[in-house]
């Protein structure tokens, strides 16, 4: 054993299996997480399309409608590849790293809420929802692992949950395709139940998504806290090591929230992802196993595929910010003219 001791970390990696402990359960949990991300993504696309079409004379509305009908086959193929790639990533990421991702994002979300910066266009609520996609998938996998822990028929329960999640995700995807192609016509004729319902309740869609995401992260926070305590904090003198790390990271998150106002949206996203997963990578190098380090590197891929597929959402958020800024300038100009008169 002393001969192979320098290579013990290699043996530890090979002892790790991507679908530990059960490949079928891990696949079902990854599929459910990817379905949750797909639901959030498509619902936000529907919301932004509705906002763009609410004023048919704006340039953003015309650009949004033209981009939604461009290359439907290629867009569908790319969406399918991204969905199954995200399913594989969520299946590979271990429970320990997923729990830390959930707790880290929850901490940063609370810091964003308390920093009074959520009313600043895409830097606010919409930007936070866009960034929460991969963390939402991790939250669903953590919650499912916590609920089905020790269950005698966990595979059957996960199969039913995956089937239900697939049905909901397929409905949201078909709703987006329907709205993107037929909403401009049906919104004037008022002969479609889906489009009529969107006209009556489309303005509240973002608030509903916010409540659902908060509920998902609240449930995942309980499961993640239990997992982190069992795997990291149950050891002797663990709090003496984790307390200063948590305080330093909290101050770093608060500082990053203040610096976001000086950066563009793209720079803010890249900096946030680098801060989040870079911090987790350093943490796993200090207190985790080599398999945890590998899981963090895999999580980088998941964050990347979620951000790459959300470029249209970022563009829509930027257009809404520019239009709101122009409206504020016009209103302020009109108010000054009235005061001068």
Instruction: Provide the CB-side half-sphere exposure for 297 (13 A, CA).
Output: 7
Tell whether the model's pLDDT for residue 59 goes beyond 80: no
Measured CA to CA, the distance from residue 26 to residue 75 in angstroms comes to: 28
Tell whether the model's pLDDT for residue 58 goes beyond 50: no
Indicate the burial class of 2 (C-beta count within 10 angstroms; 0-12, 13-18, 19 or more): exposed
Measured CA to CA, the distance from residue 99 to residue 105 in angstroms comes to: 10
Measured CA to CA, the distance from residue 114 to residue 91 in angstroms comes to: 33
Identify whether the C-beta of residue 221 lies closer than 8 Å to the C-beta of residue 103: yes
Identify whether the C-beta of residue 181 lies closer than 8 Å to the C-beta of residue 69: yes
Non-local CB neighbours of 194 within 8 Å, separated by 6+ positions: 175, 178, 179, 186
Helix, strand, coil tally for the chain in percent (to 5): 85, 0, 15
At residue 245, the pLDDT reads: 67
* pTM as predicted: 0.81
Q: Tokens at residue 206, please?
A: 């973002």
Average pLDDT for the chain: 76
Rounded mean pLDDT of 143-156? Answer: 85
Measured CA to CA, the distance from residue 322 to residue 46 in angstroms comes to: 20
Q: What is the pLDDT of residues 42-53, one digit of tens each?
A: 999 888 888 877
Measured CA to CA, the distance from residue 112 to residue 256 in angstroms comes to: 10
Measured CA to CA, the distance from residue 338 to residue 341 in angstroms comes to: 5
Rounded mean pLDDT of 126-147? Answer: 89
At residue 149, the pLDDT reads: 82
At residue 266, the pLDDT reads: 66
At residue 338, the pLDDT reads: 54
Measured CA to CA, the distance from residue 261 to residue 243 in angstroms comes to: 29
Q: What is the pLDDT of residues 241-292, one digit of tens each?
A: 667 666 766 666 666 666 666 666 666 777 777 777 777 887 777 777 788 8
pLDDT confidence bin for 178, thresholds 50/70/90: confident
Rounded mean pLDDT of 9-23? Answer: 51
Q: What is the pLDDT of residues 71-123, one digit of tens each?
A: 667 778 888 899 999 999 999 998 888 998 998 888 878 877 776 554 454 45
Measured CA to CA, the distance from residue 233 to residue 237 in angstroms comes to: 8
Identify whether the C-beta of residue 145 lies closer than 8 Å to the C-beta of residue 223: yes
Number of H helices, E strands in the chain: 14, 0
C-alpha distances (whole Å) from 305 to each of 103, 131, 133 are 21, 11, 10
- For the beta carbon of residue 287, count every other beta carbon within 10 angstroms: 15
Region at 28 (left for phi over 0; alpha for psi -120 to 50; beta for the rest): alpha
């Amino acid at each position: 054993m002393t001969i192979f001791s320098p290579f013990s970390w290699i043996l530890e990696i090979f002892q790790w299996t991507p679908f530990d402990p059960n490949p079928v359960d891990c696949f079902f949990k990854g599929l459910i997480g990817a379905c949750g991300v797909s639901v959030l993504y498509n619902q936000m696309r529907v919301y932004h399309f509705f906002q763009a079409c609410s004023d048919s004379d704006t340039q953003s509305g015309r650009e949004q409608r033209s981009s939604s009908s461009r290359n439907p086959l290629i867009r569908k193929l790319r969406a399918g590849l991204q969905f199954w790639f995200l399913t594989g990533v969520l299946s590979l990421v271990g429970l320990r790293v997923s729990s830390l991702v959930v707790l880290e994002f929850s901490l940063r979300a609370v810091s964003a809420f308390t920093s009074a910066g959520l009313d600043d266009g895409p830097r606010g609520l919409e930007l936070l929802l866009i960034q929460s996609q991969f963390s939402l998938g991790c939250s669903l996998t953590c919650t499912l692992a916590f609920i089905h822990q020790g269950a005698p028929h966990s595979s059957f329960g996960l199969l039913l949950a995956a089937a239900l999640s697939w049905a909901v995700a397929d409905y949201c995807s078909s709703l987006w395709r329907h709205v993107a192609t037929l909403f401009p016509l049906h919104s004037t004729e008022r002969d479609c139940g889906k489009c009529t319902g969107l006209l009556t309740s489309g303005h509240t869609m973002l608030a509903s998504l916010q409540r659902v995401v908060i509920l998902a992260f609240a449930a995942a926070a309980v499961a993640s806290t239990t997992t982190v305590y069992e795997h990291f904090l149950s050891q002797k003198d663990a709090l003496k090591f984790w307390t200063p790390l948590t305080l330093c990271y909290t101050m770093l998150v608060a500082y990053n929230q203040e610096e976001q106002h000086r950066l563009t949206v793209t720079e803010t996203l890249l900096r946030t992802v680098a801060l989040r997963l870079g911090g987790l990578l350093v943490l796993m190098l200090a207190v985790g196993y080599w398999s945890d380090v590998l899981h963090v590197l895999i999580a980088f891929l998941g964050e990347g595929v979620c951000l790459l597929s959300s470029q249209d959402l970022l563009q829509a958020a930027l257009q809404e910010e520019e239009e709101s800024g122009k409206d504020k300038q016009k209103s302020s100009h009109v108010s000054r003219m009235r005061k001068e008169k």
